[in-house]
Chains A and B, each alone.
Chain A
Amino acid sequence: MEKIIALSVLITAAAFAVFSADLLVSALFLALSSVAASVVYYLLGAVQASIVELSVGAGLISILFIMSITLSGSRFVKTQGTRTPVRAAPTKLAGFWLAVTVLVALTYSIVSSRAFGPSAAAITASPDVSPVLWGNETGYIYYIMFVILSSGIGLATLFGKGGSTR
């Protein structure tokens, strides 16, 4: 039940992120879909991946998006040369739908008299990722370092002058 709610929140947030004309609203719904994805990972037993998704996907990437939208100064998706106004109805509908979902989830939690998520035994039995991630592949750490370095170069370019400014 929790899994179905989280998956439906994931799909709905993704749909709102795609169809929203306001880029800022779109980025916020993308962050919400990241949160829903991390909940799904947690419920399926991937605890470590859930933590990484929550910190990187919902934290870092959404901040990058908001910063980029602010820097580029183009908040609205333009269609055929005209600015599309913000439609309040879909946003209100999304808020109402999310409130109903949370209410249903809380009611289910109270009625079934148990907490959300996998049991403590399941989390303890969750496999340890570190031997697979770091132990078996010695070259892996250089690969991750390269990825993080390229990300740092991208951020440095984002903050730097980067050619002529208008």
Chain B
Amino acid sequence: MSGILQVWVIEAFTVACLLALGLFCVAGNRNMIKILIGINLMAHAVSLAFLVAGLHNSALATAQSLMVAMITVDAAVTAMGMALIVNAYRQFGSVDTDKLARRG
């Protein structure tokens, strides 16, 4: 093991934990709001990975600008997802993906 993982062990562990938790939340839930929470957690993990990579390569400004863009995109994704969820609830009366698939 060399490079970034050797220097930033705790941060890399946190990134891995957050990615695993987000993936588990997305894959193991049928509630759409819970799935969106999992997507947000994975976005946190990727932001932290960007920051650690920027620190490791002495490119903090670039990493920060990418992080700002990513946080903005994440907020937009959340807003669109919320709009889809609320409209799906109004249309079908449920936010369960299985029930929506059965109706579709």
Contacts and interface: CB of A to CB of B under 8 A. Distances in A.
Given A18-B21, A64-B78, A74-B31, A163 B37 contact: no
Interface string B78-104: 111111011101110111100000000
A94 interface: no
B61 interface: yes
A49 B81 CA distance: 23
Contact of B75 (A73, A151, A157): A151
Chain B's interface size range is 35 or more
Contact of A78 (B41, B75, B89, B96): B96
Contact of A52 (B71, B90, B95): B71
Contacts of B4: none
A26 to B, nearest CB: 6
B90 A154 contact: no
Contact of A56 (B10, B48, B52, B72): B72
Interface size class for chain A? 35 or more
A14 B76 contact: no
B20 to A, nearest CB: 10
B66 to A, nearest CB: 9
A119 B18 CA distance: 28
Contacts of A26: 33-34, 37
A77 B29 contact: yes
Contacts, number: 184
A77 B96 CA distance: 9
Interface of A: 3-4, 7, 10-11, 14-15, 17-18, 23, 26-27, 30, 33-34, 37, 40-41, 44-46, 48-49, 52-53, 56-57, 60-61, 64-65, 67-69, 71-74, 77-78, 126-129, 131-133, 143-144, 147-148, 150-155, 157-158, 162-166
Interface of B: 10-11, 14, 17-18, 21-22, 24-25, 29, 31, 33-34, 36-38, 40-41, 44, 47-48, 51-52, 54-55, 60-65, 67-69, 71-76, 78-83, 85-87, 89-91, 93-96
Given A18-B41, A65-B37, A132-B62, 16 more contacts: A17-B25, A18-B21, A27-B33, A27-B37, A45-B55, A48-B68, A49-B71, A57-B71, A65-B82, A72-B86, A74-B95, A144-B69, A151-B79, A154-B76, A158-B79, A164-B90
Across chains A and B, which 5 residue pairs bring their CB atoms closest together, nearest first? Answer: A154-B79, A151-B76, A154-B80, A127-B61, A157-B83
